[in-house]
Chains A and B, each alone.
Chain A
Amino acid sequence: MLAAAAATAVLVSACSNDDDVTDRSLRVFAAASLTDAFTELGEAFEAVNRDADVEFNFGASSELVVQIQEGAPADAFASADEANMQKVVDAGLNASDPVVFARNRLAIAVEPGNPKGITGLADLADPDVTVVLCAEQVPCGTYADEALATAGVTLTPVSRGESVKATLSVVELGEADAAIVYVTDARASERVDGIDIPDEENVIATLPIAGLLDTGAPDVADAWVEFVTSAEGLAILEEYGFLAP
């Protein structure tokens, strides 16, 4: 029993050995929709700040908020909507005021070549079209419901994904005909085509970022927020289809 515990301790310390040298490592919690853009931003940031090491935790913003509230080690948080950032602010966990660094829009992701000939939200109500939406609890789900309500479309999705990436993957696997995701996700994926949703039916998502209070590296966290909101950061975000704030 003791031996087993000791062996476990050795194994665990071996796994986390590099923690000592990366005490300037920065843990960024970011919305799933930022996966591709932030990964590149992280590399660009590391190229400038040579001793910094950025690590990401991507997930549904709502899930990340829970993790932050429960004391997960996070230095900065980038949310897919303002509601979830507000929860962090209300809990008094932000070190700096949230800054909107980008905006995003919704699009319909369909299978390559658009075999079902989907042209807009109204087509998704067709019972022959299987649709997945994000869960009501995550930002892309509330945005999608909002857009459908604006367009006056009611539909029954076959499933509601736990994050935008999970929702998109159902169409990527060919298990659904369409999903409402962000423009940026439809664009990032090679296995779906994006169908535009006109402005009058679309929703503009605003993405705020803030440094967090309980950080081991406040200066690096500030530098990261500054970088994301800089012209250079915006240029990278725009490459992935995000809009200027």
Chain B
Amino acid sequence: MFGLLVFFALPLVALVVRVPWSDITDDLSDPAIRPALRLSLVCSVAATGLSVVIGVPIAWLLARVEFPGKAVARALALLPLVLPPVVGGVALLVAFGRRGVVGQYLDDWFGIRLPFTTWAAIIAETFVAMPFMIITVEGALRGVDTRYEEAAATLGAGRWTVMRRVTLPAIGPSLLAGITLTWARALGEFGATITFAGNFRGETQTMPLAVYLALQTDTGAALTLSLVLLVISIVVLALVGRRVWGR
């Protein structure tokens, strides 16, 4: 147990030790940091929202509905977990790029070009992070005793009421856990984002991209940027974690 803790904590401690504290005010006022931080928060929250809207119904289908090809559907929904993110990014590009299978029609018919826009960053993060939502919520839904829902229905509750008053409260903590995991994964997303959304300050350059590029010229600035991301992540995970997993 102690060994595990050291394994996880050591690299983070090293990061904190190596941060050039004397330059920290300079590094923190780096013009790249503010837009990157803003984009990271906007994109990760939007990706989490999309994952709730799309992922929860998928989880419900997988947990409650029998349909042919379900095993394949589940494998597809979880595929981004095993796929290297860069591969995901390339796949998104050849699908939704302006020469992409779908993207060329988006461009021709609607004039929509996704790559290199903030939307692309959100889509890339959703693609990579949504499986965490699906896997968590599906497991929770399977754990809910359907007799409660049936009882509510026989007592005259409509489908929506059952969902709102019985199912959702029952899976509430898992939903919150799914939201947290999805958000955390989206916040750290790098490979799919740089491949599909590219790297441009204020448009698609999220914190992980800014860290990677800062590393090429100024290791100190990169460490400071990493520290900012680390602090935000730890604060959020600690706050939410208390509610989800107890104290």
Contact = CB atoms under 8 A, between A and B. Distances in A.
Interface residues of A, number: 23
A159 B204 contact: yes
Contact of A160 (B98, B115, B199, B215): B199
A63 B216 contact: yes
Interface in B177-236: 194, 197-200, 204, 212-217, 219
Interface in A139-185: 157-162, 166, 170, 173-176
B4 to A, nearest CB: 9
Interface in B34-79: none
A158 B198 contact: yes
Contacts of B127: none
Nearest to B219: A66
B193 to A, nearest CB: 11
B contacts with A: majority SS: helix
A130 B219 CA distance: 31
How many residues of B sit at the interface, in one of the four size bands?
20 to 34
Contacts of B24: none
A221 interface: no
B216 A158 contact: no
A132 B219 contact: no
B142 interface: no
Given A62-B216, A158-B115, A170-B198, 16 more contacts: A60-B216, A63-B215, A65-B216, A66-B216, A135-B199, A135-B216, A138-B216, A157-B200, A158-B200, A159-B197, A160-B198, A160-B199, A160-B200, A162-B199, A162-B213, A174-B97
16 contacts: A60-B216, A63-B215, A63-B216, A65-B216, A132-B198, A137-B217, A157-B200, A159-B197, A159-B200, A160-B199, A160-B200, A162-B199, A162-B213, A166-B194, A174-B99, A175-B98
Interface of A: 60, 62-63, 65-66, 69, 130, 132, 135, 137-138, 157-162, 166, 170, 173-176
